[in-house]
Amino acid sequence: MNTDPCPDFRSLGLPEPILQALADAGYRTPTAIQVQSIPPLLAGMDLIGQAQTGTGKTAAFALPLLCRLAPDGPGPGVLVLTPTRELAIQVAEAFQSYARHLPAVRVLTLYGGQAYGPQLRELRRGAHIVVGTPGRVIDHMRRGTLRLDGLSSLVLDEADDMLRMGFIDDVEWILKHTPAARQVALFSATMPDPIRRVARQHLRDPQEVRIATTTATVRTIRQRYWRTTGLHKLDALCRVLEAEPIDAALVFTGTKTGTVELAEKLTARGHACEPLNGDMPQKLRERTVERLKAGELDVVVATDVAARGLDVKRISHVINYDIPRDAETYVHRIGRTGRAGRSGEAILFVAPREQRMLQAIERSTRQAIEPMDMPSAGDVNAQRIARFGRRIGEVLATTDLTDYRALVEAYARQHAAEPLALAAALANMLHGDAPFLLEEKPQLPETARAATPAAGPRRQSPIGSGVPPSPKRRPEIPMTRFLVDVGHEHGVKPGNLVGAIANETGMDSRAIGAIRIQDRHSTVELPADIPPELVVQLRGVWVCGRRLGLRGMGEDRPLQRRPERPAGAVRRRVAGKTAAVRRGRHAAT
C-alpha cells in the first residue's frame, strides 16, 4: 500500500493513458479513499471500503479496474452494481471519462425504466464494463442476454443503500452466479450486519479501508441549492445574477469548453463576464483576475483547476452551475467567498439525478444545505426597475446635461412631442429591441410536480406495513390505491416495493403512500396523476421472483405473456402430461 504522505496519481502505479485522462479532467491529487484503495485493487485483491459518498469512491475502483481490464476477454470484464439508475449513469459516465485514451472500451448501463431493445442491441455488440441496478441485471442474466463467464471484477457500490432498498437478496443471487475467481470490491458508507455477512461469505481475505469524514465548510457562508426543474439552467442563472445582491460572482462549470460557452451566453445577455480555465495562457488568466478585482468584470465562469487559490474580496457569490464531483471539491469551490471572516453566498444547481451527491455533500460537510426558490419574473423586474431608477439618479446628479437638454427641448418644440413620451423613446433607444421586463414562463401544475418535489426534505420517510407516511415528511397529494401480485408468501417487504417502484420510475420515495402486505397480494398508494404508461411499465417489474402485475383496485389481473418455449420443450411437456394422465387412469382401474 502506498505510504507516501503526499502521493500523486503517478505514484499509485497508474498507466499513462489513465494519467492523461485524469489530467484532462483536472484531477491533480488523489483523495484518501483513492490512495488506500487503488494499490490493492491493482494487485487483484478483494476490498471493503467504508467512506461517505462524495469522497471519490468511483475513481477509487474505476481507475484500477480499467487498468486490469482485458478488452479481448469473453463478455464483460467488470460489473458494477448500484442501487439506483441515477448512480448507474454517473458511474458509467465516470468510466467513459477515465477510459477516453484507452482503445475501444465500451461501457453499458442496465437499469429499469429503459426499453429492452437498446440494451439488447448493446449487449449483442459486446460491452467491456456493465453498470446496472440489481433487478435489471438479474433480468438479463435470466434471459441469457448477459453472460458473466469472463467476469474478472465485480463492484458493489453503495451497498448499504442496496440493503435499505431491499436489493440485498438480488445482490447475493448475482454473486452466486459469477465466477468463483472474480475480484470483489464492496463500498458502503455504513457497515450494518447484513453487509458484513455478505462480505464474509463472498469476499476472499479482503483489504479493509475506512475513511473518516473531516470535511467542514466555513460557517459564514450561507449555502442554498436549487433543483433544476421547470426552468432552463441558463435562465435560472441569469435570474440569480439579476435578483441577488451580487457584488461579483464566481460560476463553476465542469469542463473547460463549458466555461467558454457559458461566458459567451452570459455576455450576450448583458453581463460583464469572462471565462477562466486551464487552457488559457497564464497572462490572460492573470489579467482576467485583475479585471475582476478592479470591478471591470462582475462574473467569471471557471473550472476547479483555474480557480484554485483564487482570493478576490469582491466575490460575494459562488454558483455551482455544474455540481462538483465530490464534497472536497465543493468545499474548495465555496471557499472562494466568505473569506477572512466576511459573509458569502453559495448556490448549488442540482439536477434530479444528482440528488445523491447533494446528500453526500451534506453528510460530508455536516451541514444542511437549504432549498431556495428561484427568483420570479416579478423579482427580476423589480430589480431592473430599481437599477434603471438608480442610473437616472446618478446621471442627473453627476453629469452636465446642458447640451442634451437643449437638443431635447428643440425636438419637443419642433415635433410637439410630449416630454414623457420623448423620455420613453430615449430609454428605448438606450435599451435596444429586447423586452425590458421579463415575462413569467408557465410552470407545471403543483400536482404534476408532487411526485418529484423540487425542494423540501429529501430523506426517505419510513414506510411500514399499513402505516402511511407522516404528512410532515411527504407532500399531501391525491393518492390512488393499486394492487400488486406479491405478498407475505413470497417474502416481500415494504422496502422491496418502495425500492422497485422508485428505481423503475424515478419517482421520489416520499410520493409513495401506504403499503399493506397481505398473504398473496399487497396494496400500495401512488399519486393519482401517475401516467398510465408508468402503470403499464410497473406491471412487468420483478420483485421477489414475481412480476408486480400492478393494477387499480377492482381491475382484472393483467394478462401476463408466458415466456416462449422451444418446440422440443413443448412436445416433451405435452408428452409428460399425457403419460401422467394414462398412469392415473391405470391406477384408477
SS3 per residue for 495-540:
HHHHHHHHHHHCCCHHHCCCEEECCCCEEEEEECCCCHHHHHHHHC
For residues 264 and 123, membership in a common domain is answered with no
| Inside any domain, residue 454 | no
Judge whether 145 and 75 are in contact, CB under 8 Å.
no
Look up cell 398412469; give the residue.
583
Of 553, 544, 466, 475, nearest in space to 509 by CA: 475
For residues 265 and 192, membership in a common domain is answered with no
Residue 341: exposed, middle, or buried by beta-carbon count in 10 A (0-12, 13-18, 19+)?
Answer: exposed
d(CA 326, CA 363): 12
For residues 31 and 100, membership in a common domain is answered with yes
For residues 46 and 117, membership in a common domain is answered with yes
| Inside any domain, residue 405 | no
For residues 342 and 467, membership in a common domain is answered with no
Of 364, 383, 515, nearest in space to 436 by CA: 383
What's the confidence (pLDDT) of residue 264? 93
In the DSSP assignment, the letter for residue 437 is: S
Judge whether 309 and 192 are in contact, CB under 8 Å.
no
What's the confidence (pLDDT) of residue 500? 84
d(CA 557, CA 484): 9
Sign of CA dihedral 322, 327, 329, 335: positive
| Inside any domain, residue 114 | yes
Provide the domain count of the chain.
3
State which of 210, 245, 270 marks the end of a domain: 210
In the DSSP assignment, the letter for residue 464 is: B
Judge whether 114 and 166 are in contact, CB under 8 Å.
no
State which of 183, 210, 237 marks the end of a domain: 210
DSSP element (H, E) containing 316: strand 315-320
For residues 72 and 148, membership in a common domain is answered with yes
CATH code (residue 179): 3.40.50.300
For residues 69 and 107, membership in a common domain is answered with yes
User: What residues does 480 pair with on adjacent strands?
Assistant: 526
For residues 93 and 196, membership in a common domain is answered with yes
Query: Which stretches within 25-158 are classed as H helix?
Result: 32-42, 57-68, 85-98, 116-125, 134-143
Taking the chain (589 residues) in runs of 10, the rounded mean pLDDT of each run is 62 92 85 93 94 80 93 85 84 91 90 85 91 93 92 92 86 93 91 91 93 65 85 86 90 91 90 89 85 93 76 90 84 80 87 85 86 80 76 84 86 84 80 66 40 37 37 57 90 86 74 87 87 82 86 66 44 50 49
Q: How many CB atoms lie within 10 A of CB 141?
A: 16
For residues 146 and 230, membership in a common domain is answered with no
d(CA 406, CA 428): 20
For the chain, how many helices (H) and strands (E)?
Answer: 21, 20
What's the confidence (pLDDT) of residue 449? 39
What Cα–Cα distance (Å) separates residue 54 from each residue in 37, 60, 359? Answer: 15, 11, 9
Q: How many residues does the chain have?
A: 589
| Inside any domain, residue 278 | yes
| Inside any domain, residue 103 | yes
Judge whether 98 and 56 are in contact, CB under 8 Å.
no
d(CA 475, CA 478): 10
| Inside any domain, residue 392 | no
User: What residues does 253 pair with on adjacent strands?
Assistant: none
Mapped onto helix, strand or coil, the DSSP state of residue 108 is strand
CATH code (residue 584): 3.30.70.330
State which of 377, 409, 439 marks the end of a domain: 377
For residues 566 and 520, membership in a common domain is answered with yes
d(CA 199, CA 187): 10
For residues 252 and 119, membership in a common domain is answered with no
User: What residues does 317 pair with on adjacent strands?
Assistant: 249, 345
d(CA 165, CA 134): 11
For residues 204 and 227, membership in a common domain is answered with no
| Inside any domain, residue 384 | no
d(CA 554, CA 468): 21
Look up cell 439506483; give the residue.
84
**Domain boundaries, position 555:** 463-589
